[in-house]
Structure 1
């Protein structure tokens, strides 16, 4: 059984991780014997149903149990989803939240979390898919390699559906307060993901059109997951988040963990904005990346307000950026800018340009 010290870890996984502690033993039983847990290292915890049956409502009735990786804190100052994950661990351990899948919880960058910073040396969410090998002196590089290995090992043992939900908060305000990014896989997006995002009350989805170096890109490409990055609000210090603002995403993650069918319990939510067939919330709006502004030098001039919101629209002919002989001018009737940040290091993305592709994307879901 679980010791009192390990119960403290499961009861407040965030506080345990911030303290830099290690459990007295690395595995045990919780939830009155219903759940097995394994501590794999700083901020990494695997929880599995203790019983042997492998049924799961997320798959066909005869399919194997789903494997779900939920991560937060890849940027150490994005605290709200870290707090949500800690509460999910607490509720599973206490038996208050049913566990119907293999679940891997990852708090991505504990040293940055402890420092209250986005990262220590380099953006961890740009170091996956082997890019960490280019940053031998970075304190984030070993963590990227470790988290790749965690995902590989976890999904190597997967037989059913594979999911990865990587939760973040944005630096700036957004026209759509909560939105998702889907990695480029070369195949049409999955209807299951879009329906889940609708249940999570995600207002908009951004589709990447090229491979990247984020955690969700890594698991989608190398582990075969249905993966998404969620942006759930603005960066705030620990303890200063209004977690009720993220109730939709929290509820959807809990339904995923519990193996509950789509929209379970959502139809009677007074704030659900349910108007789709079957009583489910509407699908998110969809935007597709058509270009990006890459910072070539410290001379980059980004011609947008310092506090411009994500998804702010600009009309054809607008000059958005200059960097030496490089100029970015809006080519479509309307383009929206996402993640504008002229302060990144040279060579990194200083902004994404997207266009609305809702109708054609939703029509092509598989």
Structure 2
């Protein structure tokens, strides 16, 4: 198992959330997601394309149950409310102490699940968002809202609306400017959590 622990650089609708990488192997076993639900994270996002993250690398090449966890917002030492991290600390401590997963079923109602609808990449230096790039993660935009422009290429919120995660217009050309997400239901197929 690989838990890549981070603190987000921006505010978020959720104090903590996970980004589950898209790998060729099964990095989304139900018992792993049951453990994640026990951490009391607010949400898990299901990526749909490979990425350059450490959790993608360990999932892809070592077949580990891997996820990136964003825990709170970056702050000076001692300024984050550690009480909000206690459920995550407790879940990880119990996992280590019993040398494996607890015998619990994954209950989707314990955590919000999002599917990746699109990832926007910077094609030119003209790329810009039409919203404040400092908005909190999971800010939701209704269908048809103009999200971004890139040298004549226009991006609008899709059918059903989309939430933005990790918006950053100041990346190099060819790099990700944001992930767009929608709430989703999941199903379990061949011992793997999948979006419905």
Q: TM-score normalised by the shorter chain: which range applies? A: 0.7 to 0.9
Cα pair 2:16 2:70 within 8 Å, conserved: yes
Shift of 1:242: 2.5
Instruction: Give the total of aligned pairs.
Output: 189
Shift of 1:186: 3.8
Q: Work out the CA distance in 2 between the residues paired with 1:245 and 1:302.
A: 32
After superposition, the Cα gap between the structure-2 partners of 1:205 and 1:304, relative to the gap in structure 1 and judged at 3 Å, is same
2:180 counterpart (353, 356, 363): 353
Shift of 1:296: 2.1
Q: Work out the CA distance in 2 between the residues paired with 1:191 and 1:287.
A: 16
Post-superposition CA distance 1:125-152 (Å, at most 9, x none): xxxxxxxxxxxxxxxxxxxxxxxxxxxx
1:245 aligns with 2:84: yes
Q: Work out the CA distance in 2 between the residues paired with 1:342 and 1:288.
A: 22
After superposition, the Cα gap between the structure-2 partners of 1:324 and 1:356, relative to the gap in structure 1 and judged at 3 Å, is same
Q: Work out the CA distance in 1 between the residues paired with 2:63 and 2:188.
A: 23
After superposition, the Cα gap between the structure-2 partners of 1:245 and 1:281, relative to the gap in structure 1 and judged at 3 Å, is farther
Greater than 6 Å deviation, 4+ residue runs: none
Paired position in structure 2 for 1:309: 136
Shift of 1:215: 0.4
Instruction: Please tell me the root mean square deviation across aligned C-alpha atoms, in Å.
Output: 2.3
Shift of 1:177: 1.8
Structure 2: gaps (5+ residues): none
Q: Work out the CA distance in 2 between the residues paired with 1:315 and 1:323.
A: 20
Shift of 1:199: 0.6
Shift of 1:223: 0.6
Paired position in structure 2 for 1:318: 145
Task: Considering Cα pairs closer than 8 Å and 6+ residues apart, tell me whether 1 or 2 has the greater RCO.
Answer: 2
Post-superposition CA distance 1:54-87 (Å, at most 9, x none): xxxxxxxxxxxxxxxxxxxxxxxxxxxxxxxxxx
Shift of 1:239: 3.5
- 1:3-152 equivalence runs, <5 A: none
Paired position in structure 2 for 1:284: 111
TM-score norm. by structure 2 comes to 0.86
TM-score norm. by structure 1 comes to 0.48
Cα pair 1:178 1:203 within 8 Å, conserved: yes
Q: Work out the CA distance in 1 between the residues paired with 2:85 and 2:108.
A: 16
Q: Secondary structure at the match of 1:193?
A: helix
Structure 1: gaps (5+ residues): 1-162, 265-276
Q: Work out the CA distance in 1 between the residues paired with 2:99 and 2:110.
A: 19
Higher helix content, 1 or 2: 1
Shift of 1:206: 0.4
Q: Work out the CA distance in 2 between the residues paired with 1:332 and 1:177.
A: 27
1:180 counterpart (18, 39, 43): 18
Q: Work out the CA distance in 2 between the residues paired with 1:253 and 1:330.
A: 37
Larger Rg: 1
